[in-house]
Structure 1
Amino acid sequence: MNQLLFYEKPGCTGNQYQLALLRARGHRPEVRDLLSHAWTAVTLQPFFGDKPVPQWFNPSAPAVKSGAIDITALSARQALNLMLAEPLLICRPLLEYGLLQQSGFVDGPVLKALGIVLDRKRDLNACPMGGDALACEPPA
Structure 2
Amino acid sequence: MAEVIFYEKPGCVGNARQKARLRGSGHRLEVRSLIAEEWTAARLRPFFGTRPVAQWFNAASPRMKSSEVVPDRLDPEAALALMVADPLLIRRPLMQVGEQCEAGFDEAPIADWIGLAPAEVAVTDACPRIPDGTAC
State the TM-score bracket (shorter-chain normalisation).
Answer: 0.7 to 0.9
Hey, what does 1:40 align to over in structure 2?
40
The change in CA–CA distance for 1:102 and 1:19 in structure 2 (over 3 A counts) is same
User: What is the percentage of aligned positions where both structures have the same residue?
Assistant: 46
C-alpha contact 2:2 2:114 (8 A) present in aligned 1: no
TM-score of the superposed pair, with normalisation by structure 2: 0.87
C-alpha contact 1:107 1:117 (8 A) present in aligned 2: no
CA distance in 2, matches of 1:48, 1:118: 26
- Which of 85-94 and 65-74 deviates more? 65-74
CA distance in 2, matches of 1:74, 1:118: 38
C-alpha contact 1:7 1:33 (8 A) present in aligned 2: yes
CA distance in 2, matches of 1:111, 1:33: 24
Q: Compute the displacement of 1:123 (Å).
A: 5.4
Q: Compute the displacement of 1:66 (Å).
A: 1.6
Hey, what does 1:56 align to over in structure 2?
56
Report the RMSD for the aligned CA atoms in angstroms. Answer: 2.4
Alpha-carbon displacement from aligned partner over 1:80-122 (angstroms, at most 9, x marks no partner):
0000100000000000001111000115765423112888x84
Is 2:136 the partner of 1:100? no
CA distance in 2, matches of 1:71, 1:103: 16
Is 2:31 the partner of 1:31? yes
Hey, what does 1:83 align to over in structure 2?
83
Instruction: Report the AA paired with residue 99 of structure 1.
Output: E
Count of residues in correspondence between the two structures: 132
C-alpha contact 1:97 1:110 (8 A) present in aligned 2: no
Unaligned runs of 5+ in 2: none
Hey, what does 1:5 align to over in structure 2?
5
CA distance in 2, matches of 1:66, 1:107: 29
C-alpha contact 1:100 1:110 (8 A) present in aligned 2: no
Unaligned runs of 5+ in 1: none
CA distance in 1, matches of 2:63, 2:88: 9
